[in-house]
């Protein structure tokens, strides 16, 4: 099977899941590129980050049409996430990726368990958000997420969506839409750092992006009409898969 076809399939799969769940798709792309296609992680991460920009544009457009994006909050937290992403991308050549992956595994597992808890306020109720209460903590998490995004090549949606939903108090549908837009800004910042360093393989990136354009558009449409309960189940399964893959690989490297 042609490697370029596999890269195309990677983009399609990442776009579908990324658009549906409000993720960047990088959490799918990096394991796929490294495990299925055998690509070196130092090559996979810049490709993933670059493709994440396209995923964000393709999917967040659908959420914006339906008014499922908190623009004010998105811009505020995106600024902090960009700071973290630039930092992570700059540190990437100096920090062993398996240590970062192990840290991310712990965060992802915690996130998966947290999502199983029911919120006291229903999804469809009129909610008055006290933004000042958790905005500082959310900004700190956004910076931390950005650093991980730049280092490991994920969009950061696996962390940002639960933060917006559980901590800030946005409905799950709005959390996915807001996250989808946010990660576009941070991914653009990271890809710029990798571009200036000459670390992006444009041939692979082009094939992945072509798949993402189609997958992200479809995923965004499906995500905009999906029931929150179904999304939580799918999200939980994806998080467990990600935690297993990242944890298994990092422990093998360390041990």
- pLDDT tens, 65-81? 888 898 888 888 999 99
CA nearest neighbour of 148 among 200, 212, 99, 210: 99
Residue 102's pLDDT is: 80
- Split into its structural domains, the chain has a count of 1
- Output the CA–CA distances (angstroms, integers) from residue 202 to 37, 67, 195, 254, in the order listed: 16, 34, 10, 31
Query: pLDDT digit string (tens) for 4-23?
Result: 888 998 888 877 877 776 66
* d(C-alpha 100, C-alpha 79), whole Å: 22
- Mean pLDDT is highest, among 74-83, 91-100, 207-216, for 74-83
Which ranges of the chain would DSSP assign to H, the alpha helix?
Answer: 3-21, 26-31, 41-65, 71-91, 97-115, 131-152, 157-162, 172-196, 202-225, 228-254
Range with the poorest average pLDDT among 12-21, 71-80, 130-139, 157-166:
130-139
Q: For residue 128, give both structure tokens.
A: 């008055």
**Full domain range(s) for residue 242:** 3-254
pLDDT value, residue 83: 94
């Amino acid at each position: 099977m042609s490697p370029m076809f596999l890269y195309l399939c990677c983009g399609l799969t990442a776009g579908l899941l990324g658009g549906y769940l409000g993720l960047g798709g990088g959490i799918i792309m990096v394991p796929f590129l490294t495990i299925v296609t055998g690509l070196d992680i130092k090559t996979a991460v810049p490709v993933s980050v670059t493709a994440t920009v396209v995923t964000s544009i393709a999917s967040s457009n659908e959420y914006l049409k339906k008014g499922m994006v908190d623009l004010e909050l998105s811009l505020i937290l995106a600024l902090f996430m960009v700071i973290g992403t630039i930092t992570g991308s700059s540190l990437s050549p100096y920090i062993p990726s398996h240590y970062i992956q192990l840290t991310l595994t712990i965060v992802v597992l915690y996130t998966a368990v947290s999502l199983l808890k029911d919120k006291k306020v229903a999804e469809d109720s009129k909610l008055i958000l006290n933004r000042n209460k958790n905005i500082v903590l959310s900004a700190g998490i956004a910076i931390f997420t950005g650093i991980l995004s730049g280092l490991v090549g994920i969009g950061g949606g696996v962390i940002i969506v639960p933060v917006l939903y559980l901590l800030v108090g946005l409905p799950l549908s709005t959390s996915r839409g807001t996250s989808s837009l946010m990660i576009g800004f941070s991914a653009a910042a990271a890809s710029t750092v990798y571009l200036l360093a000459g670390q992006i393989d444009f041939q692979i990136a082009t094939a992945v992006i072509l798949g993402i354009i189609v997958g992200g558009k479809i995923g965004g449409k499906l995500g905009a009409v999906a029931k929150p309960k179904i999304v939580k189940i799918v999200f939980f399964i994806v998080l467990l898969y990600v935690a297993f893959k990242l944890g298994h690989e990092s422990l093998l490297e360390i041990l």
